[in-house]
Structure 1
Amino acid sequence: MANDPWGFDPSCGELGDLDLTGWRVEAADGRVGEVDTYSDVTGEAFLVVEADGWIFGKVMIPAGAVTHLDPAGRTLRLDLSRQQIEDAPQYLPDQHHADPEYRAEIAAYYWENGPC
């Protein structure tokens, strides 16, 4: 994973004009779901992923967990396991952007649990 939880790793390449909405999201051990919304704002980048029914609802994932972007296949890969995503703090849409404590909790969870 990137050193900055809230930034896409430079090895992913430039996002440019890419719209990640609807892209397939793959963990190291299988499909997670699709990108519902995202931010590519420097220092605040994240994905909100609509899970494919193996967990209820949506999850927020810091952009630093993204290891690869495949524009041709409209797929992005994460340096996380499905279990890590399933065990992540609940996604709270009213807090994810405005509450720095919530964002810190999300980042701490993924970075303390390390890559899969």
Structure 2
Amino acid sequence: MTEHVWSYKSTAGHLAGTDLTGYTVEATDGGIGKVDKHSDEVGDAYLVVDTGVWIFGKEVLLPASTVVSIDPEERKVFVDRTMGQIKNAPEFHRAEHLTHPGYREELRTYYATRIPFGIPPA
């Protein structure tokens, strides 16, 4: 990726300070849940998504670079990954995501790799 994985793309339409909590998150092939938490911090922006029953009530962390657009009227965030790619991402660890450098690197590596749509990673 040419842009930092923990930063919103300039084309995503994200306005700093916008509260995305509660927004529905749409993968390229369907809804995955709602934003439970997010960070706008420069160089460390992300979404924590509550997947509800889709992945048995687990949460996933999506770096800001996965966001392709935000629709404030519909309260939706669109990301550039499939449901399978998100489901196969490293497991979210709420207690470690801010403090454990190895975990952050694992997430960065996974999401920095451009995977063709429709082909989940091995």
Q: TM-score scaled to structure 1, two decimals?
A: 0.92
Letter in 1 for 2:78: R
Cα distance in 2 for residues equivalent to 1:93 and 1:25? 19
SS of alignment partner, residue 111 of structure 2: helix
Percent identity between matched residues is 40
**5+ residue gaps, structure 1:** none
Alignment match, 1:48? 48
Q: Is the 8 A contact 1:2 1:8 kept in 2?
A: no
1:7 and 2:7 matched: yes
Q: How does 1:1-116 map to 2 (within 5 A)?
A: 3-56=3-56, 57-114=58-115, 116=117
Quote the offset at 1:14 in angstroms: 3.9
Q: CA RMSD in A?
A: 1.5
**5+ residue gaps, structure 2:** 118-122
Q: Is the 8 A contact 1:36 1:50 kept in 2?
A: yes
Residues 76 and 2 (structure 1 numbering): CA distance in 2 closer, same or farther, change over 3 Å?
Answer: farther
Q: Is the 8 A contact 1:2 1:64 kept in 2?
A: no
Quote the offset at 1:64 in angstroms: 0.4
Cα distance in 2 for residues equivalent to 1:43 and 1:103? 13
In terms of fraction of residues, the more helix-rich structure is 1
Quote the offset at 1:100 in angstroms: 1.7
Cα distance in 1 for residues equivalent to 2:116 and 2:95? 27
